[in-house]
A and B are shown apart, each in its own frame.
Chain A
Amino acid sequence: MSRIRPGIVFAALFMLCACSRSNDTLYKESGYAMGSLVEFTIYGIDEARAQAAVAAAQNDLSFLHGNFDPWHPGSLARMNSLFALGGRFTAATSVLPLIAKSTELSQRSGGLFNPAIGNLIRLWGFYKDDPPPTGPPPAPAQIAAMLAQQPRMSDLRVTGVEIESRNPAVVLDFGGIAQGYAADVLIEGFKLAGIRNAIVNISGDVRVIGTHGAAPWRIGIHNPRGQGVLASLQMNADESVVTSGDYERFYRYEGKRYHHILDPRTGMPAQGAASATVIDADAVFADAAATALMVAGVKDWHAVAKAMGIKSAMLVDDAGRVYMDPATAKRIHFEIDPPPPVVLSEPL
């Protein structure tokens, strides 16, 4: 048997150390924006530059929130009012990219992701946090009347900077995509500022670039049916992980739980999954895709994922069972003991 050279042992141990993560130049800052918690993490630059970059990002976020909030006076609220009146008008140019992206993703999801159902969201009361909705749920006749109006993203016609809706019932609410879009925008801003390693976390929607020193960024995924973290994931250098879950916003009424992710087909809170997680390069895609998979539920998620071009996804059902594709299973490290039962799908 050949000897193990001490030099090799030293090199291996040195590499082990090098793979660990230094906090020497780690800058973290959190705050509240877009009605939720926002966290910035930047590695590898001095604190003054990191602070300046975060301040700029917060300004961008404030601008985006003002444009994308449908329930307070602003660009989107104005556009929603004009959709109801009919006719063509000049759109807010800052909203047009999100309309284009939403229209594309709504079509790819077969309408399971549908930001045109703002009226339904308003009916349920899930547009307000202060005070949050407490029930009762809307009457079935009210829901049926809104479904009959069939508001869809394809009702919108955009010509240059002008827009019109063929359906006065279209009310845009980008709650299922705006945070992912904002995470992408802020990361692009960081890149332009020369930042190579960072995390933007907007209300749990995570987009990363680079690494934490010599190691990849490690993200914990919340357990929807238990406490703390269900699993962790080591991120690639430019990647997002977004989860939609029924635990984020809900109320109980007469013993029944009603959550905020509405199924556009039934007008009711989506059934069949407690959470849906999507991993993708773009947070905007992952955000819309997670919403669509949450609506699809554990029965139909795989077909919807294939139709949308999702490459990596994980769902958790009410019983805590985990559904995922083999590529995702290779990357997921469960943090609970014992680990949950897993149902592996065909590859995506």
Chain B
Amino acid sequence: MSHTGSMSITDSIYLLMFGSGLLGGFGHCAGMCGPVVAAYTLGIGLPAGHMRTYPLPQVMYNAGRITTYSIMGGIMGMTGSFAGIAASIERFQNLTMATVGLVMVILGLASTDWCSLPKGSAGRKITAPVSAFVSRIIRFISATHTTGSVYVIGMVTGFIPCGLLYSAYIAAAGAGATAGSAAEGFLRGMSMLFLFGLGTAPALLLIGHITARKSEWIRKRLYTVSSLFMIAIGAIFIYRAFSG
């Protein structure tokens, strides 16, 4: 393999990876993952008071994401192969994307009250199991609303397929292919993706911070719109997961 990074393995590659993450954070992630962060920060679908307005969960969410990137980068670097690894985790990535999308749709629907039908109606009998399922998911998310769980959520969402991330993995695989040993390849790939992930964090932290600061205002004025937006983004995630 003689990909991108493989021919120019110098210390500057690490700086370039950080720069690529930083640029990509504002030029790519803000548009692609920003709505997820905003929806998550607002706590759409969760009872009032479950807004994630404090900074630690935002940091933990990003830390979880960067952990996944670093481990995957290490594996790409260790094997020196992107295409093989990417193909083997493609189904898992799509499943993750579909699951995240489904949770977003469910939480969005729950917050719009569209599922509530008059008691005893035929529609109620049909939607009752769905409502019970939705309630269970909301209870689960509310109950697991700890800093640790946010880190895990970040780790899981780190598997969502992303073209920008793929480019970083390709560079890591290229760097690993020229490494002297598998361990060196792992370290190279892991360091590269760690710095790349770190570079993407400011943009998402900024979105989280702005959303958190304006959360009361958004909840009061744009809550239904935000919920609809969340449903739409969730639906797009599900579509993308199965259309790839």
Whether both chains belong to one complex is answered with: no
B interface list, Cβ under 8 A from A: none
A interface list, Cβ under 8 A from B: none
